[in-house]
Amino acid sequence: MTPSLDAAALAHLQSWQGQSETTPDTLTAAPVRALSATLDRDDAAPVPGTEVPPLWHWLYFLPHARQSEIGPDGHARRGGFLPPVPLPRRMWAGGRLRWDAGNPLQVGQEAQRVSTIQSVKHKAGRSGELLFVLVEHRFLNANGLALTEEHDIVYRAAVQPNDPVPQPQQPPAQAAWSRTIVPDDVLLFRYSALTFNGHRIHYDRQYVTQVEGYPGLIVHGPLIATLLLDLLRRSLPGARVAAFDFKAVRPTFDLHPFSVHGQPSADGKTIALWAQDHEGFLTMQATATLA
């Protein structure tokens, strides 16, 4: 059974608040070219000066834990930059991003990500204990701040047989744009490889079903968010995204196709974006604001 978080344990985890780390990287062309192929896009080959598309910065600044430092779930063992949360299930729950239109990240640049743990919060939900970690990332190049991102991480207790089933939510609106995605093993593998993500829930069917208790491989939350903005880019070529807020609502599994949808506001300045599963239930909800 997962140990409960008493006051002393929570205070220890909250001592990580305020910790920072800086990760430098060179924004090379190969990851952009590879994700373009993975998303089946017909993009021109990236060259120095090509803008990194929105959310494709997730291809860079990746953690490179040594193999001996990997935990049983495929992530780096806990207790480094992120606190050593004992709850076994870790998920990317959502985020909020703001781009500086006058200073985009571009292929060929030297850049750095400055990450700070803003908060560690505990909550007891219907399905057990939850711990929320909010991380702020600031991305800088030679010209200064290019992007600010708030990243929500949630840790959950192990699945129990009597856990309540989350009430499904309906999509928010009729869609002007829609696209069906087939989340096969190859798509999930390629995205895991591009983001150096060893989390076994995305490729190890035996682990995800027998240890974490899910029915199938889980489609990466960042991949779904990227597909939402990819739908916007396909529907409004040339549009510039100034802000993007997204929240994961329900897991998406590789067992069935899912779909991504978009609906511009009346003035065209904001775009409602969402993903839904094969049953039509909402799985991710987002809003993009255009520059």
CA-to-CA separations, 72 to 76, 82, 205, 217, in angstroms, rounded? 9, 16, 14, 16
Position 165 scores a pLDDT of 63
Does 23 fall in a domain? no
For 18-28, write each residue's pLDDT tens digit.
Answer: 999 999 999 99
CATH of the domain at 241: 3.10.129.10
Q: At what angle do helices 29-38 and 185-194 cross, to 10 degrees?
A: 170
pTM over 0.85: yes
Q: Read off the pLDDT of each residue in 24-46 and give the average, rounded to a whole number.
A: 98
Does 93 fall in a domain? no
Indicate the SS3 state at residue 46. coil
Mean pLDDT, the chain, as a whole number? Answer: 93
Does 161 fall in a domain? no
Does 215 fall in a domain? yes
Judged on CB neighbours under 10 Å (0-12, 13-18, 19+), 127 is middle
- Indicate the pLDDT class of residue 2, thresholds 50, 70 and 90: very low
For 73-103, write each residue's pLDDT tens digit.
Answer: 888 877 788 999 988 888 899 999 999 989 9
The residues pairing with 89 across neighbouring beta strands, listed in sequence order, are 156
- Provide the domain limits for residue 273: 166-290
For 175-225, write each residue's pLDDT tens digit.
Answer: 999 999 999 999 999 999 999 999 999 999 999 999 988 999 999 999 999
Does 173 fall in a domain? yes
For 265-275, write each residue's pLDDT tens digit.
Answer: 999 999 999 99
What is the number of structural domains in the chain? 1
For 146-183, write each residue's pLDDT tens digit.
Answer: 999 999 999 988 776 666 666 889 888 789 999 999 99
